[in-house]
Amino acid sequence: MQQAGFINFLRTIAIIVGVIYILRFLARIFLPVLIKKAVNKQQQNMYNQYQKNTKSNSNADASSSKKDNEHISDKIGEYVDYEEINE
């Protein structure tokens, strides 16, 4: 069994610092690429969702406008004209 010495402590600190610097270096290289891919994917999803909504809304608007006009005439009651009375 080895005892923890000052040299082993310094070696451990050096390894930790080295790993941190390597991770920072790799993050500077790969993180912008990963973020760009994620943004492009999100933009594509939003565009597809917009296209899907506009297609379904245009079909629904054309068919529902005729149906709405028929239902509105049934729901509209008698027009009552009123005057405000000041006391």
Q: Where are the domains of the chain?
A: 7-55
Residue 6 dihedral angles phi and psi, to the nearest 5°: -65, -35
pLDDT recorded at residue 72: 57
What whole-number distance in Å separates Cα of residue 47 and Cα of residue 54?
Answer: 11
**Residue 63: is its pLDDT beyond 80?**
no
pLDDT recorded at residue 21: 97
Section 58-73 average pLDDT: 57
**Residue 60: is its pLDDT beyond 80?**
no
Residue with the bigger pLDDT between 53 and 14: it is: 14
pLDDT recorded at residue 56: 80
pLDDT, tens digit, for every residue of 4-52? 788 889 999 999 999 999 999 999 999 999 999 999 999 999 999 998 8
How many CB atoms are closer than 10 A to CB 55?
A: 10
